[in-house]
Amino acid sequence: MTDLRNVTGASITLDSVVKRYKGQDKPAVERLDLEIDAGHIVAFVGPSGCGKTTTLKMINRLIEPTEGRIFIGGRDVTREDPDKLRQSIGYVIQSGGLFPHWSVAKNIGAIPRVLGWDNKRIAERTEYLLDLVGLDPGTFADRLPKDMSGGQQQRVGVARALAADPPVLLMDEPFGAVDPITRVRLQDSLIAIQHELGKTIVIVTHDFEEATKLGDKVLILSEGGHVEQYARPEEILTDPATPFVEEFVGSGAKLAYLTVSRVRDVDVDPVTTARIGESASVVIARAKAAGHTWVVVVDESGRPRSWPSLTEVASKPEVSDYLDRRLPVVAQSSTLNDALDAMLAASQGATLVTDGRGAVVGSLSIGSVTDVIQTKLAEGNGVAEEPSYETYVDGSDPTPTPVVAADEPGPA
């Protein structure tokens, strides 16, 4: 795998780590050895109670190991001051874990303040991080968590964990409490952030598909923190190490191509973009010259707002601003499975594709996705079973029919 990432993360090593809780006869984690490369994402999966959270919390010593040693960037952290250690490790939990009475900015600045940063530096860092996680600083810096959606709070949780620029980020089921579409967007922004910052990220999830999407490597654990397999997602899917893994992966293997193939591996179709306030006739001429029957209205950062047909554009002298909340959008880092889900959820035959910063780069049709899968299956390196993507291919017209729903309020 060619890896051109900029690495700022640190490696993590677990050396014969054991956790025995008081009053439990069996150890929660029994002699775990693990090597995590700097700048990589590792996803922990396994059945409930197998020791995922225990293992994660031993890394930042929210739980003390009973035996064994843990190294971060070669330093034995079992000998360090746990408070200091936790300031250098980002930690994100389900639902964000924000302080409810603190504004977003105050939440993000919590650790930098403890570290004695001056206000100007904290303010700059907060603005940078909000932008990084896709939240407009002007809109959100002064909000309270309760006035935000679950997905937005989760983004703030990630920003807060990154505040002091820690080399390691630990995440325990961070996207468990959000709807599937938001979840995909959060996963995509995590991948984009990781590529931009090169942190080492350990993420616990109970969702095998999420693990294969996010993890450079996936760690499959069984009871007692026993390692069933620790390998790249493709390897786990094509070559499960044990019957336990085979069963755990189960029907997921049928979707192997969809979950390990990325949108960026498929050619996207070009789109005509239009800026808010642009003259409708100019936009229509540009779209027609490109052979397009619809355009993508984008904001100043190139992020998509809506995809009106040319008829709709023609109904006003200028391109108007309107946020289509049902617009199907996936990132280049999304899997083909995510792309199909996005189309399905929006009842469209295509989805828009954005880069790491959310700017539109093209569109992807259901036909292109199924072509890719057919080709791969025909190549013979496919999964033997009947491909289950067929559930998506219902014979409906594969051309996108982007319309702004008539019942949605238009701009004034």
Ligand X SMILES: Nc1ncnc2c1ncn2[C@@H]1O[C@H](COP(=O)(O)OP(=O)(O)OP(=O)(O)O)[C@@H](O)[C@H]1O
The whole-angstrom separation of Cα 167 and Cα 155 is 18
Cβ distance to ligand X smaller for residue 165 or 223:
223
What token pair was written down for 257?
């191509």
CA dihedral 349, 404, 186, 208 (to 10 degrees): -30
CB of 59 to Mg ion, least distance (A): 14
* Separation of alpha carbons 107 and 122, rounded Å: 11
- Give yes or no for residue 20 binding ligand X (CB under 6 A): no
Smallest distance, Å, CB 20 to ligand X?
A: 9
With 0-12 / 13-18 / 19 or more C-beta atoms within 10 angstroms meaning exposed / middle / buried, residue 277 is exposed
> Does 54 interact with Mg ion (rule: CB under 5 A)?
no
Report the nearest approach of Mg ion to the CB of residue 94 (Å).
9
Of 17-25, 52-60, 226-234, 364-372, the segment contacting Mg ion by CB under 5 A is: 52-60
CB under 6 A: which stretch of 20-28, 135-143, 327-335, 385-393 binds ligand X? 20-28
Question: Out of 53, 107, 261, 335, which residue is the one contacting ligand X (CB under 6 A)?
Answer: 53
Q: How many residues bind ligand X (CB under 6 A)?
A: 12
Closer by beta carbon to ligand X, 28 or else 164: 28
Q: Where are the beta strands (DSSP E) in 85-185?
A: 89-93, 168-172
* 25 lies in the binding site for ligand X (CB under 6 A): no
Nearer to Mg ion, 157 or 198 (CB): 157
Residue 52 touches ligand X, criterion: CB under 6 A: yes
* Token digits of residue 378: 């025909």
Q: In terms of Cα–Cα distance, which of 111, 106, 96, 178 is closest to 142?
A: 106
Query: In terms of CB distance, is 207 or 355 closer to ligand X?
Result: 207
> Residues 105 to 164: which contact ligand X by CB under 6 A?
none
Of 61 and 254, which CB lies nearer to ligand X in the complex structure? 61
Residues in Cβ contact with 132 at an 8 Å cutoff, skipping those fewer than 6 apart: 159, 162, 193, 196
- Residue 73 has which token pair? 């960037």
Token reading at 71? 């190294």
Nearer to ligand X, 24 or 381 (CB): 24
Q: Contact with ligand X (CB under 6 A): which of 206, 264, 357, 376?
A: 206
d(CA 314, CA 264): 33
**17 contributes a contact to ligand X by CB under 6 A:** no
Stretch that binds ligand X, among 47-55, 126-134, 318-326, 343-351 (CB under 6 A): 47-55
Site membership for ligand X, residue 49 (CB under 6 A): yes
Question: Alpha-carbon distance 255 to 319, whole Å?
Answer: 40
Q: Which helix (H) or strand (E) holds 286?
A: helix 280-289
Q: Are β-strands 350-354 and 329-331 bridged in parallel, bridged antiparallel, or unpaired? A: parallel
27 phi and psi angles, rounded to 5 deg = -65, 145
CB-based burial label for 342 (10 Å; 0-12, 13-18, 19+):
buried
CB-facing half-sphere around the CA of 317: CA atoms within 13 A: 0
Q: Does 53 bind Mg ion (CB under 5 A)?
A: yes
Q: Which range, of 47-55, 108-116, 224-232, 236-244, touches Mg ion by CB under 5 A?
A: 47-55
Do the beta carbons of residue 288 and residue 311 sit within 8 Å? no
Q: Which range, of 51-59, 99-107, 342-350, 367-375, touches ligand X by CB under 6 A?
A: 51-59
Segment interacting with Mg ion, rule: CB under 5 A, options 53-61, 113-121, 233-241, 321-329:
53-61
Residue number with the shortest CB distance to Mg ion? 53
Q: Residues 1, 4, 24, 138: which binds ligand X (CB under 6 A)?
A: 24
Among 50, 211, 249, 284, binds ligand X (CB under 6 A): 50
Q: Site residues (CB under 6 A) for ligand X? A: 21, 24, 28, 46, 48-54, 206
